[in-house]
Amino acid sequence: MSSDIYVELLPGDVNYVNRILEGYEYLGVLTTIDPRKALVKIRAVPDTRDEVLSVLRSLPVALHILT
């Protein structure tokens, strides 16, 4: 199973989500795949993948987790 998490969100929320992940001591590393659609990939390690998903689901932004 891949530890990568693909997420689609509003373009204005990409930096916010990235800063949250940084605040969690780089729980995951965010890379923008398509800036127009705000499709991003978050690289996590297998041990923290579930924690990254939990953090993403708790954020007050509209996002769609694709994986």
Q: How far apart are CA 4 and CA 41, in angstroms?
A: 7
Q: Please give the tally of structural domains in the chain.
A: 1
Q: How far apart are CA 51 and CA 34, in angstroms?
A: 24
| CA angle, 49 then 10 then 40, to 5° | 40
> Residue 16: what residue type?
Y
Q: What stretch of H or E contains 17?
A: helix 14-23
Domain enclosing residue 45, as ranges: 4-65
Q: What is the pTM of this model?
A: 0.91
Q: Which residue has the tokens 């992940």?
A: 21
Q: How far apart are CA 25 and CA 39, in angstroms?
A: 22
Tens-digit pLDDT string for the chain (67 aa) = 579 999 999 999 999 999 999 999 989 999 999 999 999 999 999 999 999 999 999 999 999 999 8
